[in-house]
């Protein structure tokens, strides 16, 4: 069994060497193995031998979710079928499922990447991990399980739901770690609280996958379970699945596995790199993936890079949590704005609720105006409205360099939905 799953190199330079080698290999592999990639590269006038530095990455064309859909059911396939040992697919909420294929080496690499997550979270082989994510054709269950076994901890493949069984497992098997979505984590934590089990269980860490969660939710889960720390695993089916990064015990951002893939952060409009610390779309290029390699795959997910180095000493770079999707982006007075950004500003403000709407209008003067309607906190008094609105307006101006008017409305006056809430109402034109 391996002693560590961390990268072979300790330096940024070392990572770049691995990246260049991986990039060259990937481009040649895709060019020779996939009709799709060969056609795209030929159209762009690039040959594998043109890739001589990391900077040459920008000469390569992009791949989009639409490309994957058009090639359903075997998108980006770059190896013969005899080399494929597995497939996974996304849940397919928008259009067709995204199907990804894996060779034996892909599965092996994914296991090592995921084992690194557990190592990054400070786990040992003594740990017992109750895995409460979905097992099936999607990547979650298989990923968490594979990584756990590769790491050498004890896997308890509980799956989601079934609170009765979950509670029994927590008591009988004494898992030290729970892996779940934030919603499932909250259900379990509340059930532990309801049954008064906290002193009879032994959960130290909770690892969240798949879904955006806010600090309030994490803190509630942590408190109700008596856990010490929570971690976030990003996951994208197209990029193996979950397990391609994790925040370390300092929680200064998500370290991502730059020895397995390159992540560009690009302005979704211009497709040029964003400035340091700015929000951009995560664009992936894999370095070792055989079955369905990604080359400049536009994920539509938005985040920003965290500058500087982490106190943990890892050379692996960091990005922020996922701040939203570029499809939700809007432009006002020449500035790109993401609902996630407004969301972040609002979540730092006391005295208001979690529901809000962004309204965009064009004034008689031809200029664009943004109004943000935010609910007052439950039980809050309208007297504080002016103060809270002014504070939010100030933070918006400071953080996103555009002014917006803030209106505080009554608690529960904005619509609720069990699906994704509509946030942006663009009334221009």
Name the residue with tokens 């740990």: 127
CB atoms within 10 A of CB 183: 14
For Zn ion, give the closer residue by CB, 197 or 312.
312
**Peptide bond connecting 73 to the previous residue in cis, omega within 30 degrees of 0:** yes
Burial class (CB in 10 A: 0-12, 13-18, 19+), 67: middle
Query: Binding to Zn ion (CB under 5 A): which residues in 302-331?
Result: 310, 312
For Zn ion, give the closer residue by CB, 201 or 248.
248
For Zn ion, give the closer residue by CB, 107 or 306.
306
Say if CB 315 and CB 10 are below 8 A apart.
yes
Q: Report the distance separating Cα 302 and Cα 323, nearest Å.
A: 5
Determine which helix (DSSP H) or strand (DSSP E) holds 216, and give its type and residue range: helix 215-225
For Zn ion, give the closer residue by CB, 225 or 248.
248
Buried b (16+ CB within 10 A) or exposed e, 289-298: bbbbbbbbbb
CB of residue 310 to Zn ion, shortest distance in Å: 3
CB of residue 12 to Zn ion, shortest distance in Å: 14
CB of residue 121 to Zn ion, shortest distance in Å: 11
248 near Zn ion, rule: CB under 5 A: yes
Q: Report the distance separating Cα 345 and Cα 143, nearest Å.
A: 33
For Zn ion, give the closer residue by CB, 317 or 380.
317
Number of residues that bind Zn ion (CB under 5 A): 4
CB of residue 253 to Zn ion, shortest distance in Å: 8
Name the residue with tokens 């050498």: 152
Q: Among 233, 184, 225, which residue's Cα sits nearest to residue 205?
A: 225
Q: Report the distance separating Cα 178 and Cα 170, nearest Å.
A: 9
184 near Zn ion, rule: CB under 5 A: no
For Zn ion, give the closer residue by CB, 23 or 233.
233
For Zn ion, give the closer residue by CB, 250 or 425.
250
Q: Which one of the spans 69-77, 150-158, 175-183, 240-248 is the region binding Zn ion (CB under 5 A)?
A: 240-248
- State the DSSP code for 67: H
CB of residue 324 to Zn ion, shortest distance in Å: 24
Helix (H/G/I), strand (E/B), else coil: 374:
strand
Q: Which one of the spans 123-131, 242-250, 293-301, 324-332 is the region binding Zn ion (CB under 5 A)?
A: 242-250
Q: Among 340, 401, 409, 411, which residue's Cα sits nearest to residue 372?
A: 409
372 near Zn ion, rule: CB under 5 A: no
CB of residue 385 to Zn ion, shortest distance in Å: 41
Determine which helix (DSSP H) or strand (DSSP E) holds 150, and give its type and residue range: helix 140-151
CB of residue 245 to Zn ion, shortest distance in Å: 11
CB of residue 316 to Zn ion, shortest distance in Å: 8
Q: Report the interface residues with Zn ion, using CB under 5 A.
A: 248, 250, 310, 312
């Amino acid at each position: 069994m391996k002693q560590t799953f961390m990268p072979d190199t300790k330096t940024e330079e070392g990572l770049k060497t691995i990246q260049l080698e991986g990039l060259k290999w990937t481009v040649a592999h895709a060019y020779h193995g996939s009709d799709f990639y060969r056609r795209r590269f030929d159209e762009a006038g690039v040959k594998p031998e043109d890739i001589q530095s990391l900077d040459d990455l920008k000469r390569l064309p992009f791949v989009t979710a639409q490309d994957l859909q058009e090639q359903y059911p075997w998108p980006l396939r770059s190896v013969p079928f005899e080399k494929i040992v597995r497939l996974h697919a996304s849940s397919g909420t928008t259009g067709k499922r995204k199907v990804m294929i894996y060779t034996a080496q892909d599965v092996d690499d994914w296991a090592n990447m995921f084992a690194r997550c557990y190592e990054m979270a400070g786990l040992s082989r003594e740990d017992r991990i109750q895995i409460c994510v979905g097992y099936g054709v999607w990547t979650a269950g298989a990923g968490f399980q594979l990584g756990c076994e590769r790491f050498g901890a004890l896997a308890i493949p509980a799956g989601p739901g079934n609170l009765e069984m979950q509670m029994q497992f927590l008591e009988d098997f004494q898992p030290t770690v729970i892996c779940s979505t934030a919603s499932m984590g909250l259900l379990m934590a509340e059930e532990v609280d309801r049954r008064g089990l906290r002193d009879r269980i032994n959960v130290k860490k909770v690892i969240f996958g798949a879904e955006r969660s806010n600090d309030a939710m994490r803190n509630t889960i942590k408190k109700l379970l008596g856990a010490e720390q929570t971690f976030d695993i990003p996951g994208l089916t197209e990029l193996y699945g979950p397990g391609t990064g994790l925040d370390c015990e300092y929680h200064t951002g998500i370290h991502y596995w730059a020895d397995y893939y390159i992540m560009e952060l690009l302005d979704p409009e211009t497709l040029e790199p964003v400035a340091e610390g700015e929000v951009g779309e995560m664009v992936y290029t894999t370095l070792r993936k055989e079955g369905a390699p990604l080359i400049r795959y536009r994920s539509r997910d938005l985040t920003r890079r965290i500058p500087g180095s982490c106190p943990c000493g890892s050379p692996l770079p960091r990005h922020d949590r996922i701040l939203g999707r570029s499809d939700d982006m809007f432009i006002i007075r020449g500035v790109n704005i993401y609902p996630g950004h407004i969301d972040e500003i609002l979540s730092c403000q006391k005295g208001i609720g979690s529901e809000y709407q962004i309204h965009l209008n064009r004034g008689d003067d031809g200029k664009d105006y943004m109004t943000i309607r935010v609910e007052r906190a439950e039980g809050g008094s309208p007297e504080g409205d002016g103060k809270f609105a002014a504070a939010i307006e100030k933070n918006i101006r400071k953080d996103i360099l555009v002014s917006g008017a803030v209106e505080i409305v009554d608690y529960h006056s904005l619509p609720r939905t069990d699906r994704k809430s509509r946030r942006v109402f663009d009334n221009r034109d």
